[in-house]
Structure 1
Amino acid sequence: MDSKDLVRFIVGSLDRHKAEDIQIIGIGDLTIIADYFVIANGTSAVQVKSLADYLEKELGEQGITPIRIEGYSTANWILVDYGSVIVHVFYKETRGFYNLERLWKDGQHYQLSDFLNPEPA
């Protein structure tokens, strides 16, 4: 699965499981750490953990496992690293404090519909 397909899968999972304010930022031209960040938030610690759990389960069923997961125990900011795509699942208030969208403002910011809607045949 290439980076774009991985983003599509991740965004679809987050959307199905009611993540809020899903943002996709292309960072491949700015850094070597990843091609994309996917940023989303939940409204409770339980939802934040559940979103990360669903991602790990659904991608695991596709044979894709994260390189690492950080922040799971506190559920304020869970980072799920899939190599070319890094997923940041925040508790809503924590997201506003760190404001990754501002820190990575020079990246390419995509519309959710760019990855939720299937590509035309």
Structure 2
Amino acid sequence: MTTLELVKKVVKTLDDKKAEDIQVIRVGDLTILGEYFIIADGTNSTHVKSLVDEVEYQTKQVGKTPTRIERDTSANWIILDYTDVVVHVFYKEAREFYDLERLWKDGEQISVSELLEETKD
């Protein structure tokens, strides 16, 4: 599975589970932390946890497991690190506070709607 295929798989999974405001930023030219950041938010801590659980499950089905998982105790922000793809799932208020999109504004915004269109059968 290529890096872009993994991005598409994660985006589709998040969309299917009703994640809000999904953003994909290509940051590979800016950092060694990864090639893509995927940022999304859930409506509450339970939704955030279920989004992360489903991403983990779906990626495991295609042989990809995160090399690292970071979570705060309140499930306001959970990070799944797949090395080249880093998935950030936030509770909305935490996302607004940390504002990763502003921090990585020099990265290339990737169209989520185009990625989702490419995943249709």
Same fold (TM > 0.5): yes
Partner-residue secondary structure (3-state), 2:90: strand
Residue deviations 1:15-49 (CA, integer Å, cap 9, x gap): 00000000000001111110000000001000000
1:76-97, Cα deviation, whole Å (9 max, x unpaired) = 0000001100000000110000
Runs of 4+ off more than 3 Å: none
Matches within 5 A, 1:1-121: 1-71=1-71, 73-118=73-118
Give the letter for the 1:35 counterpart.
Answer: E
Amino acid at match of 2:74: T
TM value normalised by structure 1: 0.94
Aligned length: 119
- Alignment partners' CA distance in 2, 1:61 and 1:3: 16
Encode CA deviations 1:54-91: one digit per residue, 9 max, x unaligned.
Answer: 01111111111100111164210000001100000000
SS of 2:40's equivalent in the other structure is strand
**CA distance in 1 between partners of 2:3 and 2:108 (Å):** 14
TM-score (norm 2): 0.94
Matched residue of 2:23: which SS?
strand
